[in-house]
Amino acid sequence: MDFSSNIASQLNAGTILPEGIVIITLMVILIGDLITGRNSARWLPYVAIAGLLIAVLDLCLLWDLPEPDGFLGSFSSDNLSIVFRGIIALSTAVTIPMSIRYVQQSGTSLAEFIGIMLTATLGGMFLSGANELVTIFISLEMLSISSYLMTGYMKRDPRSNEAALKYLLIGASSSAIFLYGISLLYGLSGGKTNLMAIAANITDVSGTQSLGLAISLVFVIAGIAFKISAVPFHQWTPDVYEGSPTPVVAFLSVGSKAAGFALAIRLLVTAFAPLTEQWHFIFTALAILSMVLGNVVALAQTSMKRMLAYSSIAQAGFVIIGLIAGTDTGYSSMIFYLLVYLFMNLGAFTCVILFSLRTGTDQISEYAGLYHKDPLLTLGLSICLLSLGGIPPLAGFFGKIYLFWAGWQAGIYGLVLLGLVTSVISIYYYIRVVKMMVVKEPSEMSDAVENYPEIRWNLPGMRPLQVGLVVSVVITSLAGILSNPLFTLANDSVTTTPILQSAVVTQQLPQETITVSTQSLESDLDTSH
Amino acid sequence: MESVQIPWLTAITLLPLLAALPIPIIPDKEGKTVRWYALYVALADLALMVYGFWENYSVKSHQFQLAETYSWMPQLGLSWSLGVDGLSMPLIFLSGLITTLAILASWKVNHKPRLYYFLVLVLYSAQIGVFAAQDILLFFLMWEIELVPVYLLISIWGGKKRLYAATKFILYTALASIFILVSGLALAFYGDNFTFNIAELGMKDYPLALELLAYVGFLIAFGVKLPIFPLHTWLPDAHSQASAPISMILAGVLLKMGGYALIRFNIETLPHAHIKFAPLLVALGVINIIYGAFTAFGQTNLKRRLASSSISHMGFVLIGIASFTDLGMNGAVLQMISHGLIAAALFFLSGTAYDRTHTLMMDEMGGMAQKMPKTFALFTAGSMASLALPGMSGFVGELSIFLGIATSDVYSQTFKVGIIFLTSVGLILTPIYLLSMLREVFYGEANTKLKLEGFGIDAQPREIFITACLLIPIIGIGLYPKVATNTYDVKTIQVAEKMRSVFPVIVEKQENNLNASLLSTWQSPGLIAPKIK
C-alpha cells in the first residue's frame, strides 16, 4: 500500500484522475452490458453521461494544480489541457443523449457504441494533455481508430461502410505521415521525446535550420490538419459526414476537432517554437483556403449533413485565426469559440437527427414548411444555424467577434477581413435553411413534412434527445449575452498556462530570451526526474 | 455626468425584446390576443419614452444624457453603454411612434401572427438600441440584430418577389456592416488607449490616412442603409415587396439609421476626413435627388415609386450634413424626421389601397377618388407633404438645407450655384411624379376592371387614426418647426461647430486650402471631389 501510493505520488497520477473516471465508466458499461444483456440500454447511457459529467467536475477540481506535470512530464494537466479535456468530455456527454434513439432505431447494440465513443473521448482527452511524442501518437491513434469504428457502425448501411473505409484509408495514411514527421523530430532533437526538451535541442542547432526540420513541420501539420479538417486535408470530411451515423458526425465535428486544436497548440507552440514564422505561414494558407472553400462550397450543398460538413471546415478556418494571432487573447478566443461551437454545432446536429428520425431524410429541400408541423425543432435548428452564422445576440456572434478582435489586435488584418467576408457568405447558406423551414407556406410543404409523424416524446430514447436539444439551444441563445464567465474561463486558462505564456513572451522579445526560458524549464524537468 | 437613478434607456431598449419572449406561449386564438399584447407593449414603451425624456432630458445640453454604462464583456472591451443627445432622442421617439403605428397598421395580419409580432418587437428593440448605443461594438451588435427580423418579415409577409427582395436586403446590409466592424476596430485599437466608446473615439487624434480609410468604410456601410446612389439597389425591391406596415418601419426608421450613423461616426468622430469628403457627399446627394426623381418616373408600381422618392429625399440629408453650417445640419436632422413621418404615411396609405385593390400597379388603378374619398384626401395630404408644400414639415427641412448650403462659406460660389441649380431641378421633378401618381390612382374615369373589395370600401377609422397620427406632426412641424428643432438645436450647432473648428487645422496642415481648390473653375461635382487632395 505504501509502495503504491509512493509510486502514485511520484508519477503524480492525480493528474489523470478524470481520465480514470472515464475508464471506470467504460468498464462499468462493458461489464454491465455483459451481465444484464439487452435490457442494459435502459440505464447504460445515463451511467456514461454521469461518468462524463463527474469527469468534468473533477477537471474543475484540478484547476490551477501547483504541480501539473504527471508521469514524468509526459502528461500535463495545465489549465489549457483541462479546458480542452472539458470540451471533449462535454461534447461526448451531449452527443450520447442524441445517439440513444438513433442507435436503437438502427437495431444495433447501444452499449458497444457508447463504449467505442467513450474510448474515442479518452483518446481525445489524453491527446489534449499529452506532452511527449509517444503519448501524443498513442492517444491520437486511440481517438482515430475508435472514430473509424464508429463511422462504420451501421453495418448494414453501405454508405456507412463506404464512409468508414474512406476515413480509415485517409486517416491511416495521415497518421503515417504524422508519425514520420514526429520521428524526424525525434531524430533531429537528438533522441528527445518530451516537447520541451525537443524545443530546447532544436534551438541549439538552429544556426543551421535543417531541411529535415521543415519537412517534419510540414508532415506534422498535415496530420493535425487532417484532424481539424482544414483545406486541403478536408477531402474525407463531406463523404464521411454524409455516410456516417449522425451522432458520430456530431462527435467528429466537435470533440475530435477540439482534440486536434489542442494538439496543434501544444505541439506547435512548444516543439516548433523556433519555427513560429514558418508554421504561421502554413496555417495562414490553411485558414484562407478553409474559410473560402468551406463557405463557398457549402452554398451548393443539397444535403444537410454535407452542408454542415463544409460549414465545419469553414469554422475550423475561423478558429485558426486565433491560433495564428499567437497572443493571449488569440488563444483564449480559440477556446471561447470552441466552447460555444460545441453547443451550437451539437444543437444543430441534434435537430438534424431528430428530423431524420421522424422523416428519414437529410435533404435540405425536405425541410420546407417544417414550422407548421414542428415549431420546437424549427426554433432549435434556426437558433443553432443563425448562431453558426454569427447573428447576434446568439453565442456564435460573440465567439466570432472575439476571434476577429484578437486577430485585429495581433495585426493580421487580411485574415480578419477575409473571415468577415466569408462569414457573410455563410449567413446566406445558413439562412437558406431557416427560410426553407419558416418561410414556406403550407402549400409548398415537402413530402417528408407533409407526412410528418405525430410528435411523441415518450418513445424510448426520445426524452434524452429532447433534453439535449433544449440544453444546447438554451446555452446557444444565452451563452453570448451572459458570456462573462466563459470569457474569464478562456482567459484564465491561457494566462495561467506556462507553455503559452513563454510562447507569448518569445514572440515579443528577442531571440536570447527563448533559450533562457526554455533552459529554465528544462532544468525544472531535470530536477523532477 | 451624474448618474440617473432609474435606467430609463435600458428599460426603453429592452422592454420590447423581453416582452417578445413570452409571445410563443401566450394563450391565443387567431392572433387576437397577440396583437393586443404587442400593441400594449409598444404603447408602454412609447409612454416610457415620453415620460423618461420629459422628466430627465434637457434640451439645453449637447452632452449625452440619461447615460448609463455597465461593463458587459470587459475582455472584449464591450460595455452596455447607452445615452441620448439631440441627435438620437428625436429619432428614438420617431422609431417608437412609427413602430407603434406599424403594429396598429398590422391589425389584419392573421398569417403566423405570433412570429410576426415577435419579430416586430425584436426589431423595435434593435432600432432603439442602434440610436442609443454609445459603444461602437454595441452599436454594431444592435445593427446586426435588426437584420434577421427584417429578412423574415419581408420574406414571409411580403409580396410576390419577396424572397428575392429579402435576400438582396440581407446580403447588401450584412456585407456593408462588415465595414462598420473593421473601421470600428481600426479606430479602437489605434493609439495607447483602447476603447470602443464613441465619445472617446472622437477625442483621439488619428493620422489622416487612417481617418480617410475609416471614413470610406463607414461611408460604404451607412451608404447602403441611407441609401447613397450606387449602393441603393436593394431599396426599391425591399421597400416595395415588404408588406405595408413593414415598409413603414423600413422607410420611416431604418433609413434614418444610415443618416444618424453618418453624423455620429463620419462627422463627429472623423471631422478631418469629413472635410475631404464633404464635396463628394454633396455631389452624391445631388445625384441621389435627381436619380431618385427620374427613376420614380419610370415606376409603374405604386410602392416602387414611393421607394424611389425615398432615395431622392435622402439626398437632401447628404447635402445638409456636408454643408458645414448650423442650418444645414439642422435641416438634415429635420429632413430625416420629416421623411420618416411622410414616408411612413404614404407607405401605409398605399397599403390601405392595396388591401382593397389587391394590386400595386398604377395602370390597373384609376378613378378611385370617387369610391374612396377619405383615402384620397389623406393620400393627397401625404403627397403634398412629400413634395415639400409650405406649411408641411418637408418644406422646412428642405428649405433649411437649401439655406445651409447657400450660406455655406466653405464652398466656392460656382460650386454652390451648380449644386443649388441641380437640386432645384430635382425639386421640380418631385411634384411632377407625385402628382402624376395621384392622377393615375385616384383621378379620371373609374377603371372598370378594378374591383374594390376588403373591409368596407373607404378608409376605416383605424386607418384614418394612423394617418392622422402621422399627419398632425407633419403639419405641426411645418407650421411651427421649433417643436422639433428645439430638441436637437443645441446638438446640431455643436456638431457644426466641431466640423468647422477642424478647418484651420487642415488649412495649416496643407499648403493649398480647401477653399482655394474649390475656387477653381466649376466642373461637374463628381469630378471635383477627387481633385481635392
Instruction: Decide which of B191 and A418 is more confident.
Output: A418
Mean pLDDT, chain B, integer: 85
Predicted local confidence at residue A500, as pLDDT: 82
H-assigned helices in B264-386: 271-298, 302-321, 326-357, 368-371, 373-386
Q: Which residue has the higher pLDDT, A507 or A458?
A: A458
Q: How confident is the model at residue B358 (pLDDT cuts 50, 70, 90)?
A: confident
- The Cα of A241 is separated from the nearest Cα of chain B by a number of Å equal to 29
pTM, entire model: 0.90
Residue A151 has pLDDT above 80, yes or no: yes
Would you say B86 and B96 are in contact if contact means Cβ atoms under 8 Å apart? no
Cβ distance of A439 and B137 shorter than 8 Å: no
**Cis omega (within 30 of 0) for bond into A97:** no
- If one compares A131 and B366, the residue with the highest pLDDT of the two is A131
Pick A460 or A363 by higher pLDDT: A363
CB-nearest to B147 from A391, A398, A438 is: A391
| Residue A297 pLDDT | 94
Picking from A392, A421, A434, the nearest residue to B144 by CB comes out as A392
Please tell me which of the candidates B76, B155, B181 has its beta carbon nearest to residue A435: B155
- A422 touches B: beta carbon within 8 Å: no
DSSP readout, A431-471?
A: HHHHHHHHTS-GGG--HHHHTPPPP-S-STTHHHHHHHHHH
Q: Is B25 on the interface with A (CB under 8 A)?
A: no
Separation in Å, CA of B115 to nearest CA in chain A: 10
- Of A235-244, A261-270, A323-332, B108-117, minimum mean pLDDT range: B108-117
DSSP A346-400: HHHHHHHHHHHHHHS--BGGGGTTHHHH-HHHHHHHHHHHHHHHT-TTSHHHHHH
Closest Cβ opposite residue B75 in set A408, A421, A491:
A491
Tell whether A409 lies on the interface with B, counting CB pairs under 8 A: yes
A391 at the B interface (CB within 8 A)?
yes
Share of chain B above pLDDT 90, in %: 34
Higher pLDDT, B112 or B284: B284
DSSP state of B133: B
Angstroms from A415 CA to nearest CA on chain B: 12
Would you state the pLDDT for residue A433? 93
Residue B3 pLDDT exceeds 70: no
A412 interaction partners in chain B (CB closer than 8 Å): none
A495 and B CB contact within 8 Å: no
Radius of gyration of chain B from Cα atoms? 22
**Does residue A336 carry a pLDDT above 90?**
yes
- Please tell me which residue of chain A has the smallest CA distance to B166: A435
pLDDT of residue A207: 57
Q: Which of A168, A119, A172, A177 is nearest to A148 (CA)?
A: A168
Average pLDDT, chain A: 87
User: What distance in Å separates residue A424's CA from the closest CA in chain B?
Assistant: 6
- Joined together, the cell numbers standing for residue B1 give 455626468
Residue of B nearest to A438 (CA): B156
Give the H/E segment covering residue B67: strand B65-73
Q: Which residue of A has its CA nearest to B17?
A: A393
Which residue ranges make up each domain of chain A? 277-529
Length of chain A: 529
- Higher confidence at residue A48 or residue B490? A48
Task: Answer yes or no: is pLDDT of B151 > 80.
Answer: yes
What is the three-class DSSP state of A155?
Answer: coil
- pLDDT above 90 coverage of chain A, percent: 56
Task: Check pLDDT > 80 for residue B517.
Answer: no
pLDDT tens-digit readout, A171-230: 999 999 999 999 998 988 888 888 888 888 876 655 556 788 889 999 999 999 999 999
- The half-sphere exposure of B148 on its side-chain side, counting CA atoms within 13 A, is 28
Whether B144 has its CB under 8 Å from any CB of chain A: the answer is yes
B155 to A421: CB separation less than 8 angstroms, yes or no:
no
pLDDT above 70 (res B119): yes
Residue ranges of alpha helices (H) inside B372-519 are: 373-386, 393-407, 413-442, 461-479, 482-501, 503-509, 514-519
Whether residue A428 lies within 8 A of chain B, CB to CB, comes out as: yes
pLDDT tier at B527, thresholds 50, 70, 90: very low
Give the pLDDT band (50/70/90) at residue A332: very high
SS3 content of chain A, % helix, strand, coil (to 5): 80, 0, 15
- B347: Cβ contacts below 8 Å, ≥ 6 apart: B239, B244, B247, B248, B251, B252, B303, B306
First to last CA, chain B: 40
Of B115, B145, B174, the CB nearest to A424: B174
What confidence score (pLDDT) does residue B23 get?
86
Whole-number percent of chain B with pLDDT over 70:
91
| Cβ–Cβ below 8 Å for B141 and A397 | yes
B175 to chain A: which residues are within 8 Å by CB?
421, 424
User: What is the model's pLDDT at position A372?
Assistant: 87
pLDDT, residue B229, reads: 85
pLDDT for residue A507 is more than 80: no
A393 touches chain B (CB under 8 A): yes
Q: Do B148 and A391 touch (CB under 8 A)?
A: yes
| A401: contact with B, CB 8 A cutoff | yes
Report the residue from B115, B145, B151 with minimal CB separation from A393: B145
Rounded average pLDDT over B449-459: 68
| Whether residue B387 has pLDDT greater than 90 | no
Residue of A nearest to B189 (CA): A409
Domain ranges of chain B: 1-176+239-257, 278-533
Distances (CA, A) of A300 to A387, B154, B491, B528: 20, 24, 50, 45
Scanning every residue of chain A, which has its alpha carbon at the shortest distance from the alpha carbon of B72?
Answer: A484
**Interface pTM (ipTM) of the complex?**
0.88
Average pLDDT estimate for B508-533: 43
- Give one word for A392, left, alpha or beta, with left for phi > 0 and alpha for psi -120 to 50: beta
The one-letter code for the residue type at B504 is P
If you average pLDDT over residues B99-121, what whole number do you get? 88
Q: Could you report the per-residue pLDDT of B305-334, keeping only the tens digit for each? A: 999 999 999 999 999 988 888 888 889 999
Chain B residues touching residue A483 (CB < 8 angstroms):
73
Mean pLDDT of the B486-513 span: 71
Number of Cβ pairs closer than 8 Å across A and B?
72
* Residue ranges in B23-75 assigned as alpha helix (H): 32-56
For residues A96-121, average pLDDT? 90
Q: Residues of B numbered 98-117 whose beta carbons fall under 8 angstroms of chain A's beta carbons: which are they? A: 112, 115
Q: Residue A510 pLDDT > 70, yes or no?
A: no
Q: What is the pLDDT of residue A528?
A: 44
Of residues B76, B112, B178, nearest to A421 (C-beta): B178
Residue A432's closest chain B neighbor by CA? B167
Residues of A with Cβ-Cβ distance to B141 under 8 angstroms: 392-393, 397
Q: Nearest to residue A419, comparing CAs of A319, A312, A345?
A: A319
Q: How far is A44 from chain B (nearest CA, A)?
A: 35
Going A275 to A280 to A283 to A289, the CA torsion angle's sign is negative
CB contact under 8 A, B75 and A397: no
User: What residues of A are in contact with residue B73 (Cβ under 8 Å)?
Assistant: 398, 483-484, 487
Residues of A in contact with B189 (CB under 8 A): 408-409
pLDDT of residue A518 exceeding 50, the answer is: no
- Is 60 exceeded by the pLDDT of residue B505? no
Residue B52 to residue B61: CA distance in whole angstroms: 16
